[in-house]
Amino acid sequence: MTIRMNDARFGASMAGLAAICVAGLALVSLQSADARARHSRKAALPAAEYVADILGEAGARLGTARLRQGPVGVLIALEFQAGALPPGWHGVHFHEKAECGDAGFKLSGAHVGHDGKPGRHGLLNPTGPETGDLPNIEAPASGAFGAELFSTFIGLSARSIGGRAALQDADGSALVVHAARDDHVSQPIGNAGARIACALIRAVPVSPAP
């Protein structure tokens, strides 16, 4: 796992870097046993990459989201400009529609994997998680910053392969950053608060089954 940062601000942001790193490692650890157990019976997804602007209020560009499909999951590299997010922890989720055009980003819908069934949000929820759930990120007090997250629950594809939720299905999806930290247990969104940033993940045509 790597985290890229603006070197000039590296020292000031070390605390945030360490915390983001721990959060990312926690997810990898959480999912690794499960991924190993299912790897043999899950179809591998073809390599794919998707890059999108992360947008704030009124469409202001805050940074870049780069998603890369690996054999068992998607690596999500986020880079934010200085001042893009308020300092502190922020929940991050995949929401069910490629819609970032409205104030508050409500049109992006519920989390990927909500599927109209309440009570399943949260990486630490005994009856969860939803497939759109991700670890938190932490914005430093100043300077540009980045984080890498990883999820085996989703796929960068137009249709579900190996049981993974398809981020690029007919209505696409959106990566949404929230105002507050996701506690990974509370319903329906882990007390993560308002939606403050959004990146479109557009639909792609369905390819033939392998």
How far is it, in rounded angstroms, from Cα 20 to Cα 164?
A: 25
Query: Which x/- pattern over 1-40 shows residues binding Cu ion (rule: CB under 5 A)?
Result: ----------------------------------------
Q: Does 181 bind Cu ion (CB under 5 A)?
A: no
Kindly identify the residues of this chain, within the stretch 160-179, that bind Cu ion according to CB under 5 A.
Answer: 176
CA distances from 186 to 33, 134, 150, 175, 207 (A): 24, 14, 22, 20, 37
Binding mask 77-106 toward Cu ion (x if CB under 5 A, else -) reads ----------------x-------------
Cβ-based nearer residue to Cu ion, 77 or 180: 180
* Direct distance between the N- and C-terminal alpha carbons of the chain, in angstroms, rounded to an integer: 30
Please tell me whether residue 156 binds Cu ion under the rule CB under 5 A: no
Q: Please identify which residue in the block is written with the tokens 């940062």.
A: 5
Q: Which is nearer to Cu ion, 17 or 52 (CB)?
A: 52
The full length of the chain comes to: 210
Q: What share of the chain is helix, strand, coil (3-state, %, to 5)?
A: 20, 30, 50
Residues that bind Cu ion (CB under 5 A): 93, 176
